[in-house]
Chains A and B, each alone.
Chain A
Amino acid sequence: DIVLTQSPDSLAVSLGERATINCRSSQSVLHSANNKNYLAWYQQKPGQPPKLLIYWASTRESGVPDRFTGSGSGTDFTLTISTLQAEDVAVYYCQQYHTNPPTFGQGTRLDNK
């Protein structure tokens, strides 16, 4: 199975500041046939299911604010929140859908400093 390792496990950022979360894959999730990275990002708040933010590593889901940006390719990916808002406090997960079974990272807890 592909293992996704997120860093850091937790971070605290002041409102209005930038937050950066990393995700490293044990194997490349870049599909050579279409040059797409099969990686998604989710946000999860307590008592709720995960919410899709980003797919194809950098395509924002409809309705997701443009302060959320996904980047990276191959085995190294980043989710950046440009200016942290109070409602962004949550746990964030990366997920690969390149190879069965789909797998998730262990999560990064983002708090307000």
Chain B
Amino acid sequence: AQSVTQLGSHVSVSEGALVLLRCNYSSSVPPYLFWYVQYPNQGLQLLLKYTTGATLVKGINGFEAEFKKSETSFHLTKPSAHMSDAAEYFCAVSAAAGSARQLTFGSGTQLTVLP
């Protein structure tokens, strides 16, 4: 079984400030981890993913996330927020193997960027 906890349903940062969105997961098998972004009235877009290998993963739009197995975390960061980053962000986990490999999503974090 898998689960994802996103701490903070709403996060506000000033333009140019560090963005940190927190995600902790629970998985009984080696996980694949994902961050998706959803802009208003749009579907989900993959920001980045961790499967195997390097634990620091770089994604699109300057975002990155680090897989920390000991902390069961996969926090999303961006050094400098831009107004266009305002959106909802979802962390997700799936099993690394097996035919099912269903995505389990966190509850989402709404990011607001203040001018």
Q: Do A and B come from one complex?
A: no
Which B residues are within 8 Å of any A CB, using their own CB?
none
Which A residues are within 8 Å of any B CB, using their own CB?
none
